[in-house]
Amino acid sequence: MSRLSSGGLIDRATPLAFTFDGRSYKGFAGDTLASALLANDVRLVGRSFKYHRPRGVFSAGSEEPNALVELRTGARREPNTRATMAELYEGLEATSQNRWPSLAFDLLSANQWFSSVLGAGFYYKTFMWPAALWEKLYEPAIRRAAGLGRAAEQADPDSYEKAFAFCDVLVIGGGPSGLLAALTAGRAGARVILADEDTILGGRLNSARTAIDDAAPGAFLARARAELSALPNVRVMPRTTIFGVYDGGTYGALERVGDHLSVPAPFQPRQRYWKIVAKRAVLCAGAFDRPIVFGGNDRPGVMSAQALRTYAVRYAVTPGRNAVVFANNDHAWSAAFDAADAGVKVSAIVDVRETPPPALLAGATARNIRVIAGGEVIATSGKCLSSITVRTRGGTETLQAEVLGISGGATPNLALTSYFGGRPKYDAALAAFVPDQTPPGLSVAGAAAGQFSLAQCFATGAAQGVAAARDAGFAATPAPLPETGDTPTSLSAFWHVQGSKGLAFVDFQNDVSAKDIAIAHKEGFRAVELLKRYTTLGMATDQGKSSNMAGLAIMAELTGQGIGETGTTLFRPPFTPVALGALAGHHREKDFRPTRPTPTHDWARKQGAVFVETGLWLRAQYFPKPGETDWLETVTREVKAVRSSVGLIDVSTFGKIDLQGSDVGVFLDRVYINTFSTLAVGKARYGVMLREDGLVMDDGTTARLADDHYVMTTTTANAAKVYQHLEFCLQVLWPDLDVQLASISEQWAQIAIAGPKSREVLAQVVDAPLDVSNTGLPFMGAVEGRVMGGVKARIFRLSFSGELGYEIAVPARHGEALTRALMAAGAPFGITPYGTEALGVMRIEKGHVSGNELTGQTSARDLGLGKMASTKKDYIGRVMAGRPAFADRDRATFIGFKPVDRAQRLRAGAHFLPLGAVPVMENDEGYMSSVAYSPTLDHWIGLGFLKGGRARIGQKVRAYDPVRGGDIEVEVCDPGFVDPEGERLRV
């Protein structure tokens, strides 16, 4: 065990058992998986992407490139989980990934012996011959070797939530600057949200021993946390990562509600995805300790100097016997000191600087730490680190070390500032990029702004807290700052040890070495974006958090350009990877989209209806009866019942729009191709409306209930689109018209009854004195009245089926009662409920166009409706429908089809070819849009579009359907298959 005997923020009273690769270990509450593994002397944790090199824990935070594991098992398996961010819980199961057969012995690690062949971009230069082998051999092999962890093999069993939050000031990060920003803004009365990706507020203060107000940092943290939780206007959100910034001050955040538990708590989601709308935000995300590039810098046991400090101080772990620190900056020394003071044996500090500051030298002496100034680590050895080789002016020397804490300086964590395209600027004194332009409303404080010392963090955090609160309208005053002894850190820019031994890694996870950057340079991939894409530098799961700086510094060395001129690649959200499930929330599987049941849904279900998705609606498709063996038998029975007696269908899904005002007639004349201003009160008319580009948008019937009152129906699919279009016409095109619109689709149930007996059925449910006789309510009549003893109703004598028919609209809550009343009234006639299939069959028998024909690619003329268009008025789409292509004689137009051999089945989607013509595009004459088996005619019938259209009635063409093996002769015919004169609906 490498657990220190005392200290740390772990709860030693709460031991937790966990397994890694099947072996059992013990940790404590407060551990991460990484700290617990290190405490158990598990140093080999993962394998790299390309060379499958053994890797350990590099960091103690969200920037971890190496220690990725599969967390949990079964349906909850989470590949690529950073061990440094996984909180330990009782029973945690983790498995190493990207290795075979085992973590300790991975056959693909042989790749590293061929690293000189597998350099940057090698795959673009080979595997080209023979072409067929790419999919069969090369690519499958590459794919199996690539990738990291394995996805779960079942649906994610956990749930996710979405939530909105609004605040005046959002503080991103709960370290020293974030605490001061939140306290300052909070004290001023601003509504503050403080979001921190860690489990406890404090950031680096949880890992440091630096005195604040002459006490350990814990005392300051306790006060700050207490005050924040006491402020009612401050909301602290731990375990919450702000992953992106979006327009309008909207921030995406992921709260890990249950990830620290084996399963989420009852009735709690696993994660909650927040959209936080903030008037102002302050980014206090701190900085990353970045690695130095040298041979063997990836060996397990090499970690960032700050991670060494964190494991020692926060987790009371010594990550190996004998620690050495290799750095170019002061901050790494204080990390070494804190680690030593916590109980880690730190034997040496190697600093590339010849003359480190005297105060640091004194600190080292006091702790009995050897200092090697002007030294560089040039090699490491051991499967897990056992020793390092240091080069000094005096020669080389080998030191025993199981831990090497490396630090090339701090890289401000400024990703959020550049998501709107802001390019960070290079600060040579800090050897770091610092924020320049930020998204509107976002300012930066603390280490994220390059203000690395604790005093700077406090000062800039407070100042930005004041500024943000003031911008949000609160009179904020700067508070006294906590006293701290630390001083601004100094460093000497240093990136890459020249002439070191072995592969020197820049991007650990993707195995991009300094040599790969040299290849990219030689081949001209020098712009940072090209460098990234050619070498995959910065494209791993850490998105280059640890690697980008060194990579572009090395490229800058090679090109001779400055680092500032070389620039960074664009940062992209999310800041850390976000589970897809969280962004989907509960909109998944059956709840992907809302379900709209019709007013008679429950009734239909009790009748045994089979339902079909129609947009968001569920509609009854057909009503099978016991003994019926397939849908066709059922649908045939339903059609025959309607044609011979009476049937009933719920047509509530049609869009229904109420139009009132003195100008409705004028308005309708402008939106329909035909005329409605002349429609008599009490009558309905079929109308067609176009888009402004001249193609058909929708059709439906509109009835006039009073001089200034019309009701329009639209197709089910286009209900919302038509309503929006009408509002556009009214508000944008013709605001002077006196018309008011209201969507009443939800408010009215509409039940259709059709068939020769439908009038007799209707007559039984209407209240006196409503007259539904042929004279009282003639074809295309529309009346208002009462049904079922007082229920308000609108009755339209319309027919889609071609039979005598009515549509009865009642307030939606009466829809089922009306249906039951009609069914009871129709019982003597054997009234038959029918579904959308039978409705479709009957409309095809009648040759009516429907959704399959209203494709948005068809004009009124194409649909055979050209004659409806008024020539006496303007209407939407009229002018554009006059374009040359619309009158093209070669355009396919609407027509009917029947199989020459009446026993053959038709298929929609078949293309028409002249008889005997070869099946090539040049011979394509159109296609079949709708087909049905006609019970009335006892054979299949079809509708479709054919070049020449009606002029070809009587001709035969080939219906070619190779995707279903169909190739038959069909006869072109009038689309009105049944009762083309329309006599039955006028009886």
Partner 1 sequence: MSHYSVLSIIANAFNGQKGWTPAWRDAAPKPVYDVIVVGGGGHGLATAYYLAKEHGIRNVAVLEKGHVGSGNAGRNTTIIRSNYLLPGNEPFYEWSMKLWEGLEQDLNYNAMVSQRGVLNLYHSDAQRDAYARRGNAMRLNGADSELLDRDQVREMAPFLNFDQSRFPIQGGLLQKRGGTARHDAVVWGYARAADRLGVDIIQNCEVTGFIRTGDAVVGVETTRGPIRAGKVGLAVAGSTSRLTRLLDMRLPIESHVLQAFVSEGLKPLVPGVITFGAGHFYISQSDKGGLVFGGDIDGYNSYAQRGNLPVIEDVCEAGMALFPRIGRLRILRHWGGIMDMSMDGSPIIDKTHLPGLYLNAGWCYGGFKATPASGWCFAHTLAKDAPHAFNAAFRLDRFRSGHLIDEKGVGAQPNLH
Partner 2 sequence: MRIPCPYCGLRDAHEFSYLGDATVSRPAPDMPDAQEAFFHYVYLRENPAGAHEELWYHAAGCRQWLVVSRDTRTHEISGASFARAPKADASHAEVKP
579 binds partner 1 (CB under 8 A): yes
Token readout for 769 is 């004195």
CB of 861 to partner 2, least distance (A): 16
883 binding partner 2? (CB under 8 A)? yes
* Ranges within 742-771 binding partner 2 (CB under 8 A): none
Q: Is 267 in the site for partner 1 (CB under 8 A)?
A: no
DSSP annotation string for 836-858: HHHHHHHHHHHT---TTT--SS-
By a kind-dependent CB cut-off of 5 to 8 A, residue 902 interacts, out of partner 2, partner 1, none, with none
Closest CA to 673 of 661, 655, 691: 691
**Residue with Cβ nearer partner 2 (45 or 730):** 730
Applying CB under 8 A, the span of 36-44, 243-251, 791-799, 867-875 interacting with partner 1 comes to: 243-251
485: left (phi over 0), alpha (psi -120 to 50) or beta: alpha
- Which of 420/933 has CB closer to partner 2? 420
Instruction: Select 250 or 262, whichever has its Cβ closest to partner 1.
Output: 250
Q: Does 261 bind partner 1 (CB under 8 A)?
A: no
Question: Number of C-alpha atoms within 13 angstroms, CB side, residue 714?
Answer: 25
Residues in the chain: 987
> At closest approach, how far in Å is the CB of 535 from partner 1?
11
Q: Does 678 contact partner 2 by CB under 8 A?
A: no
Question: Binding of partner 1 at residue 572 (CB under 8 A)?
Answer: yes
Tokens read off for 948: 């020449």
Instruction: Choose between 80 and 743: whose C-beta lies nearer to partner 2.
Output: 743
Is 393 among the residues that bind partner 1 (CB under 8 A)?
no
The answer to whether 750 and 806 have CB atoms below 8 angstroms apart is: no
Backbone angles phi, psi at 636, to 5 degrees: -60, -45
Q: 528-535 and 514-522 are packed helices; what angle lies between their axes, rounded to 10 degrees?
A: 120
Q: Per CB under 8 A, which of residues 62..91 are in contact with partner 1?
A: 75-80
Distance CA 770, CA 787 (A): 9
Residue 707 main-chain phi, psi, to 5 deg: -50, -45
Among 420, 631, 779, 886, binds partner 2 (CB under 8 A): 420
Whichever of 429 and 885 has its CB closer to partner 1, that residue is: 885
Binding status of residue 507 toward partner 1 by CB under 8 A? no
Q: Which residue has the tokens 């503050």?
A: 192
Q: Which is nearer to partner 2, 558 or 720 (CB)?
A: 720
Gap between the Cα atoms of 174 and 57, Å rounded: 24
If one asks whether residue 572 binds partner 2 (CB under 8 A), the answer comes out as: no
If one asks whether residue 727 binds partner 2 (CB under 8 A), the answer comes out as: yes
908 near partner 2 (CB under 8 A): no
3-class SS at 722? Answer: helix
Strands 387-392 and 376-381: antiparallel
Phi first, then psi, for residue 807 (nearest 5°) are: -120, 125
CA 343 to chain centroid: 46
969 binds partner 2, rule: CB under 8 A: no
Query: Whole-number minimum distance, CB 725 to partner 1, in Å?
Result: 11
CA proximity to 614, closest of 590, 638, 596, 599: 596
686 — phi, psi (to 5°)?
A: -80, 135
- By beta-carbon proximity to partner 2, the closer residue of 883 and 902 is 883
Phi, psi of 161 (to 5 degrees): -125, 155
Give me the least distance between CB of 967 and partner 1, in Å please. Answer: 11
What are the φ and ψ backbone dihedral angles of 929, each rounded to 5 degrees? -100, -35
Of the pair 91, 440, the CB lying nearest partner 2 is at 440
Asked whether position 440 contacts partner 2 by CB under 8 A, the answer is yes
Question: Please, is 760 exposed, middle or buried when counting C-beta atoms within 10 Å of its C-beta (0-12, 13-18, 19+)?
Answer: middle
* Under rule CB under 8 A, residue 878 binds partner 2: yes
Residue 518 binds partner 1, judged by CB under 8 A = yes
Residue 278's DSSP bridge partners are: 167
Cβ 379 to partner 1 shortest distance, Å: 19
Neighbours of 815 (CB within 10 A): 23
Q: Which is nearer to partner 1, 223 or 515 (CB)?
A: 515
969 three-class SS: strand
Q: What does the block give as tokens for 397?
A: 């020397």
681-710 positions binding partner 2, by CB under 8 A: 692-693
Min dist CB 743 to partner 2, Å, is 8
Per CB under 8 A, contacts with partner 1 among 132-151 are 134-135, 139-140, 142-144, 146-151
Which of 13, 885, 903, 915 is in the footprint of partner 1 by CB under 8 A?
A: 885
Interstrand relation of 234-237 and 240-246 (parallel, antiparallel or unpaired): unpaired
- The answer to whether residue 471 forms part of the interface with partner 2 (CB under 8 A) is no
CB-CB contact of 286 with 203 (8 Å): yes
Of the candidates 104, 107, 763, 879, which one interacts with partner 2 according to CB under 8 A? 879
- Choose between 1 and 155: whose C-beta lies nearer to partner 1: 155
Question: Can residue 871 be called a binding residue for partner 2 (CB under 8 A)?
Answer: no
Q: State the residues that interact with partner 2 by CB under 8 A.
A: 246-250, 275, 277, 420, 440, 692-693, 720, 724, 727-728, 730-733, 735, 874, 878-880, 882-883
